[in-house]
Chains A and B, each alone.
Chain A
Amino acid sequence: MVRKISQEEFKDVLASKVALVDFSAVWCGPCKMVAPVIEALSDELDGQVDFFNVDVDDCPEIAAEYAIMSIPALILFKDGKSVDMKVGFRPQAELAAWIKGELN
């Protein structure tokens, strides 16, 4: 499951052991396309990674803090620190391989 969070709830990302945050917006086509892929990925990696969605229009301060300049932007967090980022639509297999590589 992907949890949509507000600016105040972003502390849950920082408290998570491993988290993937999908920065997106309602007006962005590729974001709409990647959303079901992230949803499926969250089922695949259920229990290993926490999944969050941040709307950059609702959370401008967080978007600025992580220098989001293109969306969708997928940032992987480990122990509250951003460790890597992927930008744009990505197939599920590529994202799964990327995250699994970071888990080990």
Chain B
Amino acid sequence: MARYDIAIIGTGPAGVSAAITSVIRNKSVLLLGSADLSAKLKKAHEIRNYPGFAAVSGETLGAAFAEHLSSMGIEITEDKITSVYAMGDYFALQASSGLMYEAAAVILATGVIAGKPLEGEEELLGRGVSYCATCDAPLYRGKEVTVIGYSPKEEKEAAFLSEVTAKVTYIPMYKEEPQLPGSVVIVKDRAMGIGIQDGRRVVKTAGEPIVTDGVFVLRESVSAGQLVPGLATDGTHVLVDLQMKTNIEGCFACGDIAGRPYQYVKAAGQGNVAALSAVDYLDAKKRN
């Protein structure tokens, strides 16, 4: 597979701006995200502080971004990145399509991912709490597991677990009726936290606690720290310096994920800085 110079995750103002500057600086770019640009951008009623546009709707600005990208021949790859691995001199990006992309530098422009972790979730990660059914299911062969699913998309992971483990309890954190194999026990309750009880794990709910051997917490979008293992965050935002550098060499962040204020013009500006920093990083690497 071709190794790109810069992979940019996110197609909001930060990601689009980063892609434009990277291409101007003659770098090969992999721009990943939704092709209809930022869904959030579309929702914006009116933006009044974006220079050049006295008053512009999010939809109009989004269309202008799309036109700008296409005029430069920049394509958007519609694939969801689930993990970014810092391999040392390059990054490997695992996508939900099953493809693995490679890039010498990475710019995170994913926007802020809402949703707080459950009580005990982070403390017990890897100690009876897992985010990856396909990774860890075989470790629970013959045991009982509980799946906390945040969207109907996670049901196929639960179905997979039911083929491997002795028992699966499924807690849907959404309104739709789950479609699962008959062997899966569905508990329509709200998961509140995860704890330890007599060497086993316990899922605290509004009602009866569920005692289990392992807990799989499956969300559609993962936090930045989960997306890029080893990335320093304050929980919500990635820690960056004024050059948009993160603690991982070659990895940069911009836009809402890099902190407040959540403004389009700030995101676009940071995207530009992140791209220029990535270019500097690549050039310095080439010299060595």
Number of interface residues of B (CB under 8 A): 24
Chain B residues near A25 (CB-CB < 8 A): 138
Chain B residues near A29 (CB-CB < 8 A): 83, 94, 134-135
Given contacts A69-B130, A73-B126, contact A91 B86 (CB under 8 A): yes
Q: Mark B203-217, 1 if CB is under 8 A from A, else 0.
A: 000000000001000
A90 lies within 8 A of B139 (CB): no
Given contacts A70-B126, A91-B248, contact A33 B138 (CB under 8 A): no
Q: Mark B69-109, 1 if CB is under 8 A from A, else 0.
A: 00000000000000101111000101000000000000000
A86, chain B: closest CB distance, angstroms: 8
The size bracket of the interface on A is 20 to 34
State the A residues within 8 Å of B (CB): 25, 27-30, 33-34, 36-37, 40, 56-57, 63, 67-71, 73, 85, 87-94
A91 lies within 8 A of B229 (CB): yes
B189 lies within 8 A of chain A by Cβ: no
Give the contacting residue for B135; candidates A36, A63, A71, A92; CB below 8 A: A71
Given contacts A89-B83, A93-B249, contact A33 B125 (CB under 8 A): no
Complex A-B: 16 CB contacts under 8 Å: A25-B138, A29-B83, A29-B135, A33-B87, A36-B88, A69-B128, A69-B214, A70-B125, A70-B136, A73-B126, A89-B83, A90-B229, A91-B86, A91-B88, A91-B230, A93-B230
B214, chain A: closest CB distance, angstroms: 6
B133, chain A: closest CB distance, angstroms: 11
A89, chain B: closest CB distance, angstroms: 4
A49, chain B: closest CB distance, angstroms: 18
B127 lies within 8 A of chain A by Cβ: yes
CA distance A94 to B230 in the complex (A): 7
Which residue of chain A has the shortest Cβ distance to B124 in the bound complex? A69
Q: Mark B110-135, 1 if CB is under 8 A from A, else 0.
A: 00000000000000011111101011
